[in-house]
Amino acid sequence: MNKFTNYGGDPAPVALNYRYNADWDSDDWRTQAACREAPPDMFFPVGSTGPALNQIDAAKAVCRGCDVQSECLEFALATNQEAGVWGGTSEDERRRLRKQWLAARRRRLQGATAAAS
């Protein structure tokens, strides 16, 4: 369990505040990321079974010790990073988090549209 999952291991709600701007690549959270000192291949395993599971676990261990884990996950969700381990989450975990976020966003938009009518 990490701060992005609940006790059942299911993804916990994550508020996305990432804003696209002209300087999106200059965000300094990346300069503080623990993964900068790790082999990049560790974060992009081939597959999600067998030996890839050990690689995913190793990447997540690096993420757990990272000071900018939440910023990394927020960026990955907002920019739809589909491959690799980002912010301590696997591809499948991020896919579920993003689906939850998109569904909540749709409900908010529908509520706002209904209130305006």
The pLDDT tens digits for 78-100 are: 888 999 999 999 999 999 998 88
- The Cα-based distances of 64 to 59, 70, 105 in angstroms read 9, 10, 28
Count: domains in the chain: 1
Phi, psi of 10 (to 5 degrees): -80, 150
76 in Cβ contact with 97 (< 8 Å): no
Residue 32 placed within a domain = yes
pTM, to two decimals: 0.70
**Which one, of 7, 16, 8, lies nearest residue 97 by Cα?**
16
Residue 100 placed within a domain = yes
Residue 17 placed within a domain = no
The pLDDT tens digits for 21-31 are: 545 555 688 89
- Which residue range(s) make up the domain with 80? 24-116
CA pair distance 92, 54, nearest whole angstrom = 15
Residue 14 placed within a domain = no
4 in Cβ contact with 73 (< 8 Å): yes
Residue 29 placed within a domain = yes
The pLDDT tens digits for 54-81 are: 999 999 999 999 999 999 998 898 888 9
pLDDT of residue 6 exceeding 60: no
